Amino acid sequence: MGPSRLHGLIDGVFAIALTLLVLDLPRPRDSAHLAHDLADQWPSYAAYLVSFVTVGILWIEHHGMMSAVRQINRRFLERTLLFLLFVSIIPWPTAIAADYADQGSQATAAAVLYAGVMMLMGLSFALSWQYLAAHPQLVAEPARTALRAGTRRALLGGLVYAVAIAVAFLSPTASFAIDAVVALYFAASKTEVPGLIHRAAQAGEE
Amino acid sequence: MGPSRLHGLIDGVFAIALTLLVLDLPRPRDSAHLAHDLADQWPSYAAYLVSFVTVGILWIEHHGMMSAVRQINRRFLERTLLFLLFVSIIPWPTAIAADYADQGSQATAAAVLYAGVMMLMGLSFALSWQYLAAHPQLVAEPARTALRAGTRRALLGGLVYAVAIAVAFLSPTASFAIDAVVALYFAASKTEVPGLIHRAAQAGEE
Amino acid sequence: MGPSRLHGLIDGVFAIALTLLVLDLPRPRDSAHLAHDLADQWPSYAAYLVSFVTVGILWIEHHGMMSAVRQINRRFLERTLLFLLFVSIIPWPTAIAADYADQGSQATAAAVLYAGVMMLMGLSFALSWQYLAAHPQLVAEPARTALRAGTRRALLGGLVYAVAIAVAFLSPTASFAIDAVVALYFAASKTEVPGLIHRAAQAGEE
Amino acid sequence: MGPSRLHGLIDGVFAIALTLLVLDLPRPRDSAHLAHDLADQWPSYAAYLVSFVTVGILWIEHHGMMSAVRQINRRFLERTLLFLLFVSIIPWPTAIAADYADQGSQATAAAVLYAGVMMLMGLSFALSWQYLAAHPQLVAEPARTALRAGTRRALLGGLVYAVAIAVAFLSPTASFAIDAVVALYFAASKTEVPGLIHRAAQAGEE
């Protein structure tokens, strides 16, 4: 089974998750100080931005992985669905993080929830990489040597969120800051996985 | 007419149905015990999970069927739309199941509604299989022998939900448990329809 | 410019319009008579069904038209966007029709709104057909003779809704019945446009 | 990396942004004067229309740009994501503009917000053009000469919205009128970028 049709489902879920985030940007009702009330909602904008960038970068990374895949099977499809489960759920912890980020003692639970979903998203991405590393025949030959680096990179993402969960009990603000820094770090890295795209390109496909 | 463009509509409806489920995950407002209130919402998470897995597995199964289809006609398109009708409706019984699963006597109606929509989804999937079995010229030759097995498998799914409807009058909890077990059973099966993908692959397509 | 990428936008808007309809299926809150309250919502189910079938059949008809298109230009893109405007708006009159269908004197306004949006959808579809009829070089040769029949068929759909608007002032129920009958009529017709698909197939494309 | 899969994400985000606009069309509840209450909501319809046309035309323009792109890299993907961030956010300022357009002193903030998001959308589109102009090897040869014109055109769009922001402090109504005129102006222009499509076509692709 070729991977092409799976792209339709993946891109659809990502596009919708990215776009549904907008439904949680609050719309002040009957405000007499609209400019002020809009400015007051900055935690919602920050949460929107961090989630959008994280999910967007994740799409790029996942797209990089998929560009090396030449064949898929049912077990790989199932791991992909598990990953999409956590992608599609993103608007939910984002809305809760925006609501409770500045709510004193409740902010810890919100920060744990947010980093927890992100961690599960990272770990389920690592599960996809790891499956490919264990079944290199599914992958274009020049890209096979990059599979372990990809697994490590996704695991690293997941583990940083584990740190963010622990930090949330000391300082929810610091925990959210870690979430934001992860997004920026992966946005600033030059390639998905060192050499992956280059090697896939050498294979002369996509 | 080739089936390729139909994939866009199918994948779109599935991706959106999977992702709209998130809109019904409740967001506690002004909670003073956020961690506790989040934990209290476990029926919503369970309903989300069962629906996501069921729809996800169904996408895999439907994808398996479509990978064998070489040509479509208007009647097949209409059966596909009927199937998509029930896929797109899933967030509705899911939200009601989450709201009423632990509401004593009202849980029966919620369990009947949930299993009822799932049953119609399964039966309409069986209708698509059955149409292909009756018009094998629409299907790649090596996959034709698998069409009856596919019809049976989809019918079986539909019939198990009929049992879940009957059980709901005795115990709604047992009925929901059946829904969850169906999802797990189909997730654990190795191939969509024994030999289908293998035979489609032999045909050298997709 | 080839038409292939336009399919992605069209299929996306259709898939989302079909699926967003579910957000307006009401979810009884804290009901003590869930089965009864669910049954009471039958106007919502009827509205859902008629809109889903109408939009679904329209996708099939539009898909038939597009399968004959070989080339597009900016003017055709703009007519397609106009058509998509009315497709994407469907959940709105559907929700209002469901809310007011049994509300005595207000039902007239709801029926006019519903049939009005449907009429504009049909007329904008006719505009696309008519543009192709005026620029046959955009269409595969064997399908060119079917363009006038396609324009007439879409116009006919639009005009029947004009009748439904007029009827709404006498009887909103009769007006809604016309909307339902149109959906059934087009669902029962055998081909999009007599000979179109056949001729497009002869052209050996898609 | 070829650009084909990026189209799936872009078309998905556009299709969803266009369709989510419908969720903000208000649905009068328990109205005793439905026709009158529907007519009263005209600012919502105007906002819907302007946003739909603006985003739709932007899709056409972006589609024109992408039809000339032959190769993409990670930096271009990131600029595309930035652009999609502003596309996906559109339903939010649209809903606020509809709510406050006729609310006296609050209308200024709504008009600034609306034109501000539109300006950022235009400028981020210009950033994509500019990246291609600086890396012409990503673009099909005959289209390379059009890249500066494309950048200028997108910048022009962004700058007109800067004017709309300034005007909002004098007259919010005039500011909204500018937004509407921009949509009409770009809808009326004959090609995305003078010569772009023609030149891309000469390259014999898409």
The β-bridge partners of B202 are none
| CB within 8 Å of chain A, chain C residues 78-97 | none
Q: CA–CA separation, D180 vs D172, rounded Å?
A: 13
Q: CA–CA separation, B156 vs D139, rounded Å?
A: 53
* Residues in B touching A85 (Cβ below 8 Å): 49, 52, 56
- Kindly determine whether residue D18 and residue C113, on different chains, have CB atoms separated by under 8 Å: no
* Residues in D touching A18 (Cβ below 8 Å): 13, 84, 88
pLDDT surpasses 90 at B187: no
**Residues B133-140: contacts with CB within 8 Å, 24+ apart?**
B135/B73, B135/B76, B137/B71, B138/B69, B138/B70, B138/B71, B138/B72, B138/B73, B138/B76, B139/B68, B139/B69, B139/B70, B140/B68, B140/B69, B140/B70, B140/B199, B140/B200, B140/B203, B140/B205
- Closest residue, chain D, to C96 (C-alpha): D27
pLDDT for the residue numbered C193: 55
pLDDT for the residue numbered A196: 53
* Residues in C touching A15 (Cβ below 8 Å): 12
- Two structure tokens written together for A206: 């996509």
Q: What is the pLDDT of residues B76-135, one digit of tens each?
A: 999 999 999 999 999 999 999 999 988 878 999 999 999 999 999 999 999 999 999 999
* Residues in A touching C15 (Cβ below 8 Å): 12
Q: CA–CA separation, A57 vs A63, rounded Å?
A: 10
| Residue matched to tokens 């115990």 | B171
CB C165 within 8 A of CB C116: yes
| Residue D191 pLDDT grade (very low, low, confident, very high; cuts 50, 70, 90) | low
Q: What is the pLDDT of residues A108-147, one digit of tens each?
A: 999 999 999 999 999 999 999 999 999 999 998 888 888 9
**Residues B25-32: contacts with CB within 8 Å, 24+ apart?**
B25/A89, B25/A92, B27/A92, B27/A95, B27/A96, B27/A99, B28/A96, B29/A99, B31/A100, B31/A106, B32/A106
CB C21 within 8 A of CB C51: yes
The partner residue sitting opposite A84, judged by closest CB among B18, B35, B48, is B18
Average pLDDT of chain D, as a whole number: 89
CB A138 within 8 A of CB A73: yes
The runs of H, that is alpha helices, within B90-146 are: 91-100, 107-134
Q: CA–CA separation, D43 vs C61, rounded Å?
A: 33
Count of other CB atoms within 10 angstroms of residue D127: 18
pLDDT surpasses 50 at A7: yes
Closest to C49 (Cα-Cα) out of B81, B49, A9? B81
pLDDT for the residue numbered C192: 52
Minimum mean pLDDT among B192-201, C112-121, D152-161: which range? B192-201
Q: CA–CA separation, C24 vs C109, rounded Å?
A: 19
Look at chain B and count its residues.
Answer: 206
Count of other CB atoms within 10 angstroms of residue C8: 23
- Spell out a b/e string for D91-109, using b for 16 or more CB atoms within 10 Å of the CB, else e: bbbbbbbbbbbebeebbbb
User: What integer is the mean pLDDT of A19-44?
Assistant: 92
pLDDT surpasses 60 at B194: no
Q: CA–CA separation, A123 vs A134, rounded Å?
A: 16
In the predicted model, residues of chain C with pLDDT beneath 50 are 194, 198-206
Q: CA–CA separation, B125 vs B155, rounded Å?
A: 8
The β-bridge partners of C139 are C69
Count of other CB atoms within 10 angstroms of residue C188: 9
Could you tell me the CA-to-CA distances from B156 to A145, B90, C41 in Å, in that order? 44, 19, 31
User: How far is C-alpha A54 from the chain's CA centre?
Assistant: 5
User: What integer is the mean pLDDT of A176-194?
Assistant: 80
Question: Which residue type is seen at C40?
Answer: D
- Two structure tokens written together for C150: 């396609």
A153 burial level (CB within 10 Å; 0-12, 13-18, 19+): buried
**Interface confidence: ipTM more than 0.85:** yes
- Spell out a b/e string for A193-206, using b for 16 or more CB atoms within 10 Å of the CB, else e: beebbebbbeeeeb
CA–CA min distance D159, chain C (Å)? 24
User: What integer is the mean pLDDT of A22-31?
Assistant: 91
| Residue B191 pLDDT grade (very low, low, confident, very high; cuts 50, 70, 90) | low
Task: Inform me whether the C-beta atom of residue B21 falls under 8 Å from chain C C-beta atoms.
Answer: no
pLDDT for the residue numbered D121: 96
DSSP C73: -
- Two structure tokens written together for C132: 């192709």
Task: Inform me whether the C-beta atom of residue B2 falls under 8 Å from chain C C-beta atoms.
Answer: yes
Closest to D65 (Cα-Cα) out of D161, D8, D138? D138
**B–C: how many Cβ contacts below 8 A?**
99
Could you tell me the CA-to-CA distances from C156 to C33, C69, C119, C163 in Å, in that order? 45, 22, 10, 11
Three-class SS of chain A = CCCHHHHHHHHHHHHHHHHHHHHHCCCCCCCCCHHHHHHHCHHHHHHHHHHHHHHHHHHHHHHHHHCCECCCCHHHHHHHHHHHHHHHHCHHHHHHHHHHCCCHHHHHHHHHHHHHHHHHHHHHHHHHHHHHHHCHHHECHHHHHHHHHHHHHHHHHHHHHHHHHHHHCCCHHHHHHHHHHHHHHHHHCCCCCCCHHHHHHHCCCC
| Residue A62 pLDDT grade (very low, low, confident, very high; cuts 50, 70, 90) | very high
Average pLDDT of chain A, as a whole number: 89
DSSP B22: G
Q: What is the pLDDT of residues D170-180, one digit of tens each?
A: 999 999 999 99
Crossing angle for the helix pair D4-20 and B4-20, nearest 10 degrees? 50
Percent of chain A whose predicted confidence (pLDDT) is above 70: 91
Task: Inform me whether the C-beta atom of residue D100 falls under 8 Å from chain A C-beta atoms.
Answer: yes
String of DSSP letters for B149-168: HHHHHHHHHHHHHHHHHHHH
C104 burial level (CB within 10 Å; 0-12, 13-18, 19+): exposed
* Residues in C touching D190 (Cβ below 8 Å): 74
- Which position has the higher pLDDT, B182 or B194? B182
HSE-up of residue C116 (Cα within 13 Å, Cβ side): 15
Q: Which chains contact A through at least 3 pairs of Cβ atoms less than 8 Å apart?
A: B, C, D
pLDDT for the residue numbered A205: 41
pLDDT for the residue numbered C54: 95
DSSP B204: T
- Two structure tokens written together for B26: 């409740």
pLDDT surpasses 50 at B136: yes
Task: Inform me whether the C-beta atom of residue B23 falls under 8 Å from chain A C-beta atoms.
Answer: yes
- Kindly determine whether residue B13 and residue C19, on different chains, have CB atoms separated by under 8 Å: yes
String of DSSP letters for D157-188: HHHHHHHHHHHHTT-HHHHHHHHHHHHHHHHH
Could you tell me the CA-to-CA distances from B136 to A23, B204, C141, C197, D62 in Å, in that order? 45, 18, 30, 20, 42
* Residues in D touching B15 (Cβ below 8 Å): 12
| Residue matched to tokens 């003590």 | C32
Could you tell me the CA-to-CA distances from C30 to B42, B204, C111 in Å, in that order? 18, 55, 31
Please name the residues in contact with A20: beta carbons below 8 A apart, sequence gap of 6 or more.
A91, B19, B20, B22, B23, D16, D20
A133 in helix, strand or coil?
A: helix
Crossing angle for the helix pair B107-134 and B147-168, nearest 10 degrees? 170
- Which position has the higher pLDDT, A188 or B183? B183
Task: Inform me whether the C-beta atom of residue B21 falls under 8 Å from chain A C-beta atoms.
Answer: yes
pLDDT for the residue numbered B67: 87
- Kindly determine whether residue C12 and residue D7, on different chains, have CB atoms separated by under 8 Å: no
pLDDT surpasses 50 at A162: yes
